[in-house]
Amino acid sequence: MAPLLAGCLAAGPAATATPQAVVSVTITSAPGETLAFEPAETTVQAAGPVAMTFRNDSSLPHNLVFTAGLIAATRTVVEPGTTDQLLLVPPAPGAYPFVCTIHDGMAGTLIVRETVSSENTVAVPGAWPVPARNAAQSMAAAFLGE
Ligand SMILES: [Cu+2]
């Protein structure tokens, strides 16, 4: 008789999925009523998608809209104390400027560099969002008695 449980416990996606390195980066807004992204310029090493989290740490609503090279933006206005996540697919290494369209002069830049090592990347075999991997690994380890 076939071990039917094996199919249920297989947490990973199909073996044919192409592993992609997703690089995570977090941008915040300056606290209080300061109109600034922090950091205003951030660099990631990525050969694939970039998961960018915008966390609004200020007391004012903001958004984050790329203005060149990438068509991406927060889904809506990000209220104080909340976050939004953008999955970016930079077409090439380069500098990608973004702004808050609510506040004149509130701007930042995401710099994408080619990956030179795998240290900053997390291999995610076709899965999204990124975080659940450790839990899945723990379950697999427990199942295997490790
Ligand atoms: Cu703003």
The three-state DSSP-derived secondary structure of 92-144 is CCEEEEEECCCCCCCEEEEEEECCCCCCCCEEECCCCCCCCHHHHHHHHHHHC
User: Is residue 100 situated within a structural domain?
Assistant: yes
In sequence order, what are the beta bridge partners of 28?
A: 38, 55
Tens of pLDDT along 17-60? 555 679 999 999 999 999 999 999 999 999 899 999 999 999 99
Q: Which of 23, 57, 18, 52 is nearest to 37 (CA)?
A: 57
User: Is residue 89 situated within a structural domain?
Assistant: yes
User: Is residue 64 situated within a structural domain?
Assistant: yes
Tens of pLDDT along 56-110? 999 999 999 999 999 999 999 999 999 999 999 999 999 999 999 999 999 999 9
User: Is residue 5 situated within a structural domain?
Assistant: no
Residues with a beta carbon under 5 angstroms from ion ligand 1: 62, 100, 102-103, 106
User: What is the span of the domain harbouring residue 37?
Assistant: 19-117
Tell me, in angstroms, the distance from the centre of ligand 1 to residue 69's CA. 21
Tell me, in angstroms, the distance from the centre of ligand 1 to residue 83's CA. 13
User: Is residue 137 situated within a structural domain?
Assistant: no
Tell me, in angstroms, the distance from the centre of ligand 1 to residue 53's CA. 15
Tell me, in angstroms, the distance from the centre of ligand 1 to residue 58's CA. 9
* Mean pLDDT for the stretch of residues 117-133: 47
Tell me, in angstroms, the distance from the centre of ligand 1 to residue 102's CA. 5
Of 32-36, 110-114, 135-139, 142-146, give the lowest mean pLDDT range.
135-139
- pLDDT bracket for residue 133 (50, 70, 90): very low
User: Is residue 128 situated within a structural domain?
Assistant: no
Name the phi and psi angles at 7, rounded to 5: -65, -40
The reported pTM is 0.67
Q: What is the CATH number of the domain that holds 84?
A: 2.60.40.420
Number of folded domains in the chain? 1
User: Is residue 144 situated within a structural domain?
Assistant: no
42 or 114, which is more confident: 42
pLDDT > 50? residue 128: no
User: Is residue 31 situated within a structural domain?
Assistant: yes
Give me the pLDDT at residue 116, please.
62
